[in-house]
Protein backbone atom coordinates (compact mmCIF):
# COMPACT_ATOMS: atom_id res chain seq x y z
CA UNK A 1 0.00 0.00 0.00
CA UNK A 2 1.34 3.43 -0.88
CA UNK A 3 2.25 5.15 2.44
CA UNK A 4 1.57 8.62 1.02
CA UNK A 5 -1.94 9.79 2.00
CA UNK A 6 -2.78 13.06 0.15
CA UNK A 7 -4.87 15.47 2.24
CA UNK A 8 -7.42 17.33 0.09
CA UNK A 9 -7.94 20.15 2.59
CA UNK A 10 -5.93 22.71 0.65
CA UNK A 11 -7.34 22.04 -2.77
CA UNK A 12 -9.63 24.24 -4.80
CA UNK A 13 -12.76 22.07 -5.05
CA UNK A 14 -13.15 22.95 -8.70
CA UNK A 15 -9.81 21.23 -9.35
CA UNK A 16 -10.48 18.29 -7.06
CA UNK A 17 -11.60 15.77 -9.65
CA UNK A 18 -8.57 16.39 -11.87
CA UNK A 19 -6.22 16.13 -8.87
CA UNK A 20 -7.84 12.91 -7.68
CA UNK A 21 -7.47 11.53 -11.21
CA UNK A 22 -3.75 12.40 -11.10
CA UNK A 23 -3.43 10.66 -7.73
CA UNK A 24 -5.25 7.57 -9.00
CA UNK A 25 -2.95 7.48 -12.06
CA UNK A 26 0.11 7.80 -9.78
CA UNK A 27 -0.60 4.77 -7.60
CA UNK A 28 -2.11 6.54 -4.59
CA UNK A 29 -4.28 4.13 -2.56
CA UNK A 30 -5.64 6.40 0.21
CA UNK A 31 -7.07 9.92 0.40
CA UNK A 32 -6.93 11.74 3.77
CA UNK A 33 -10.11 13.69 4.56
CA UNK A 34 -9.62 16.53 7.06
CA UNK A 35 -13.01 16.90 8.71
CA UNK A 36 -13.27 20.12 10.71
CA UNK A 37 -16.31 21.21 12.75
CA UNK A 38 -15.50 24.89 13.48
CA UNK A 39 -15.39 24.04 17.18
CA UNK A 40 -12.55 21.62 17.91
CA UNK A 41 -10.66 23.70 15.32
CA UNK A 42 -11.83 27.09 14.00
CA UNK A 43 -12.28 26.27 10.30
CA UNK A 44 -15.19 24.22 8.94
CA UNK A 45 -14.22 21.90 6.07
CA UNK A 46 -16.52 19.16 4.79
CA UNK A 47 -18.56 16.14 5.92
CA UNK A 48 -19.49 12.57 4.91
CA UNK A 49 -21.17 13.66 1.68
CA UNK A 50 -17.76 14.45 0.15
CA UNK A 51 -16.58 10.97 1.15
CA UNK A 52 -19.61 9.47 -0.62
CA UNK A 53 -18.96 11.55 -3.73
CA UNK A 54 -15.31 10.48 -3.93
CA UNK A 55 -16.14 6.81 -3.34
CA UNK A 56 -18.74 6.92 -6.10
CA UNK A 57 -16.11 7.99 -8.64
CA UNK A 58 -12.72 6.74 -7.49
CA UNK A 59 -11.24 3.46 -6.18
CA UNK A 60 -9.43 5.11 -3.24
CA UNK A 61 -9.74 3.96 0.32
CA UNK A 62 -10.65 6.93 2.53
CA UNK A 63 -8.99 7.96 5.81
CA UNK A 64 -11.16 10.44 7.73
CA UNK A 65 -9.28 12.56 10.29
CA UNK A 66 -12.03 13.90 12.58
CA UNK A 67 -11.04 17.25 14.04
CA UNK A 68 -14.38 17.46 15.82
CA UNK A 69 -15.38 18.09 19.44
CA UNK A 70 -17.90 15.28 19.53
CA UNK A 71 -16.40 12.29 17.67
CA UNK A 72 -18.95 9.84 19.14
CA UNK A 73 -21.63 11.72 17.19
CA UNK A 74 -19.62 12.05 13.98
CA UNK A 75 -18.21 8.51 13.67
CA UNK A 76 -21.49 6.76 12.70
CA UNK A 77 -21.99 9.21 9.80
CA UNK A 78 -18.56 8.38 8.38
CA UNK A 79 -19.10 4.65 8.84
CA UNK A 80 -22.37 5.05 6.95
CA UNK A 81 -20.59 7.01 4.20
CA UNK A 82 -18.28 4.03 3.67
CA UNK A 83 -15.05 5.60 4.93
CA UNK A 84 -12.43 2.89 5.49
CA UNK A 85 -10.23 4.37 8.23
CA UNK A 86 -11.47 6.79 10.90
CA UNK A 87 -9.30 8.66 13.39
CA UNK A 88 -10.37 11.04 16.16
CA UNK A 89 -8.49 13.24 18.63
CA UNK A 90 -7.67 11.94 22.12
CA UNK A 91 -8.12 15.57 23.22
CA UNK A 92 -11.76 15.48 22.03
CA UNK A 93 -12.91 12.04 23.13
CA UNK A 94 -11.62 12.06 26.70
CA UNK A 95 -10.16 8.99 28.43
CA UNK A 96 -13.46 7.24 29.25
CA UNK A 97 -14.97 7.38 25.74
CA UNK A 98 -11.79 6.63 23.75
CA UNK A 99 -11.60 2.84 24.15
CA UNK A 100 -15.33 2.49 23.43
CA UNK A 101 -15.15 4.62 20.29
CA UNK A 102 -12.12 2.75 18.95
CA UNK A 103 -14.11 -0.44 19.54
CA UNK A 104 -17.16 0.93 17.73
CA UNK A 105 -15.07 1.82 14.68
CA UNK A 106 -13.38 -1.60 14.66
CA UNK A 107 -16.68 -3.43 15.16
CA UNK A 108 -17.95 -1.75 11.99
CA UNK A 109 -15.08 -3.30 10.03
CA UNK A 110 -13.13 -0.04 9.69
CA UNK A 111 -9.63 0.75 10.92
CA UNK A 112 -9.63 2.81 14.12
CA UNK A 113 -7.13 5.61 14.70
CA UNK A 114 -6.29 7.90 17.59
CA UNK A 115 -4.80 11.36 17.01
CA UNK A 116 -2.53 13.45 19.23
CA UNK A 117 -1.81 17.16 18.94
CA UNK A 118 1.85 18.24 18.99
CA UNK A 119 1.62 19.49 22.61
CA UNK A 120 -0.27 16.52 24.09
CA UNK A 121 1.97 14.09 26.01
CA UNK A 122 2.45 10.65 24.47
CA UNK A 123 1.07 9.17 27.71
CA UNK A 124 -2.41 9.94 26.38
CA UNK A 125 -1.92 7.33 23.65
CA UNK A 126 -0.22 4.61 25.70
CA UNK A 127 -3.36 2.86 27.06
CA UNK A 128 -4.81 2.50 23.54
CA UNK A 129 -1.90 1.16 21.48
CA UNK A 130 -3.51 -2.30 21.32
CA UNK A 131 -7.01 -0.95 20.71
CA UNK A 132 -6.02 1.26 17.76
CA UNK A 133 -5.06 0.15 14.25
CA UNK A 134 -3.10 3.37 13.78
CA UNK A 135 -2.01 6.37 15.79
CA UNK A 136 -1.66 9.79 14.18
CA UNK A 137 0.96 12.21 15.50
CA UNK A 138 0.20 15.76 14.37
CA UNK A 139 3.34 17.53 13.16
CA UNK A 140 1.42 20.83 12.97
CA UNK A 141 -1.40 22.21 15.13
CA UNK A 142 -4.65 21.09 13.50
CA UNK A 143 -6.89 23.40 11.50
CA UNK A 144 -4.90 24.53 8.48
CA UNK A 145 -2.81 23.16 5.64
CA UNK A 146 0.46 24.81 4.59
CA UNK A 147 2.01 25.10 8.07
CA UNK A 148 5.65 24.27 8.88
CA UNK A 149 6.61 20.85 10.18
CA UNK A 150 7.30 20.84 13.95
CA UNK A 151 10.76 19.21 14.27
CA UNK A 152 10.05 17.82 17.78
CA UNK A 153 7.72 15.36 16.03
CA UNK A 154 10.76 13.29 14.98
CA UNK A 155 11.66 12.54 18.60
CA UNK A 156 8.01 11.88 19.49
CA UNK A 157 7.68 9.48 16.57
CA UNK A 158 10.81 7.58 17.60
CA UNK A 159 9.62 7.39 21.20
CA UNK A 160 6.14 6.22 20.23
CA UNK A 161 7.51 3.62 17.82
CA UNK A 162 9.59 2.19 20.66
CA UNK A 163 6.50 1.97 22.87
CA UNK A 164 4.50 0.26 20.14
CA UNK A 165 7.31 -2.30 19.72
CA UNK A 166 7.68 -2.75 23.50
CA UNK A 167 4.01 -3.70 23.69
CA UNK A 168 4.11 -5.89 20.63
CA UNK A 169 1.30 -3.75 19.35
CA UNK A 170 0.65 -3.78 15.60
CA UNK A 171 -0.68 -0.23 15.25
CA UNK A 172 0.78 1.84 12.46
CA UNK A 173 2.29 5.27 13.02
CA UNK A 174 0.88 8.02 10.78
CA UNK A 175 2.23 11.59 10.75
CA UNK A 176 0.35 14.60 9.42
CA UNK A 177 1.30 18.19 8.69
CA UNK A 178 4.09 20.03 6.89
CA UNK A 179 5.47 16.88 5.25
CA UNK A 180 7.45 17.22 2.01
CA UNK A 181 10.20 15.28 0.19
CA UNK A 182 12.94 16.84 2.36
CA UNK A 183 11.58 15.62 5.71
CA UNK A 184 9.74 12.43 4.67
CA UNK A 185 12.88 10.24 4.81
CA UNK A 186 13.79 11.60 8.27
CA UNK A 187 10.30 10.79 9.46
CA UNK A 188 10.51 7.28 8.08
CA UNK A 189 13.85 6.78 9.87
CA UNK A 190 12.16 7.97 13.07
CA UNK A 191 9.60 5.19 12.61
CA UNK A 192 6.66 6.69 10.72
CA UNK A 193 4.76 4.24 8.52
CA UNK A 194 2.25 6.57 6.87
CA UNK A 195 2.59 10.16 5.65
CA UNK A 196 -0.22 12.66 5.17
CA UNK A 197 0.75 15.26 2.59
CA UNK A 198 -1.38 18.26 1.58
CA UNK A 199 0.26 21.43 0.33
CA UNK A 200 3.47 19.78 -0.88
CA UNK A 201 1.33 17.74 -3.26
CA UNK A 202 -1.47 20.11 -4.19
CA UNK A 203 0.94 22.96 -4.95
CA UNK A 204 3.20 20.74 -7.02
CA UNK A 205 3.44 21.73 -10.69
CA UNK A 206 3.82 18.06 -11.59
CA UNK A 207 1.83 15.88 -9.18
CA UNK A 208 3.03 12.50 -10.52
CA UNK A 209 6.65 13.67 -10.25
CA UNK A 210 6.08 14.94 -6.70
CA UNK A 211 4.48 11.64 -5.71
CA UNK A 212 7.48 9.81 -7.14
CA UNK A 213 9.74 12.19 -5.19
CA UNK A 214 7.88 11.41 -1.98
CA UNK A 215 7.62 7.67 -2.49
CA UNK A 216 11.30 7.49 -3.50
CA UNK A 217 12.16 8.89 -0.08
CA UNK A 218 10.08 6.35 1.84
CA UNK A 219 9.88 2.63 1.40
CA UNK A 220 6.43 1.11 1.35
CA UNK A 221 5.53 0.01 4.84
CA UNK A 222 3.93 -3.28 5.76
CA UNK A 223 0.63 -1.43 5.95
Q: What does the binding site for ligand DX5 look like in residue numbers (CB under 6 A)? A: 7, 9-10, 32, 34, 65, 67, 140, 142-143, 145-147, 176-179, 196-200
The answer to whether 183 touches 199, Cβ cutoff 8 Å, is no
- The DSSP H or E segment spanning 116 is strand 111-116
Q: Which does 129 bind (CB under 5 to 8 A by kind): ligand DX5, Zn ion, none?
A: none
**Strands 30-36, 61-67: pairing kind:** parallel
Q: Is 84 in the site for Zn ion (CB under 5 A)?
A: no
User: Is 133 an annotated catalytic residue?
Assistant: no
| Residue whose CB is less far from Zn ion, 34 or 84 | 34
Question: Which of 34, 37, 63, 84 is an active site residue?
Answer: 34
Q: Determine how many CB atoms are found less than 10 A away from the CB of residue 185.
A: 14
Half-sphere exposure of 129 (CA within 13 A, CB side): 19
| Residue whose CB is less far from Zn ion, 132 or 165 | 132
Q: Is 65 in the site for Zn ion (CB under 5 A)?
A: yes
User: Is 206 an annotated catalytic residue?
Assistant: no
Q: CA angle at residue 135 from 131 to 139, to 5 degrees?
A: 160
Distance between CA 22 and CA 147 in Å, rounded?
24
Among the listed ranges 16-24, 123-131, 174-182, 211-219, the one in contact with Zn ion (CB under 5 A) is 174-182
Q: Which residues are known to be catalytic?
A: 34, 176
Binding site for Zn ion (CB under 5 A): 34, 65, 176
Amino acid sequence: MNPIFPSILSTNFFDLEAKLRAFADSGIDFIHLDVMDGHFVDPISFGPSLARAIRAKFPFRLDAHLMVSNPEKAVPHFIQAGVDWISFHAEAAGAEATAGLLGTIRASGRKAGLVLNPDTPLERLRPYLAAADYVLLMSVFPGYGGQSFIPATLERAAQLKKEIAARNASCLLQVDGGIHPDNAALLQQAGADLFVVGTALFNAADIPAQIRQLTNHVHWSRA
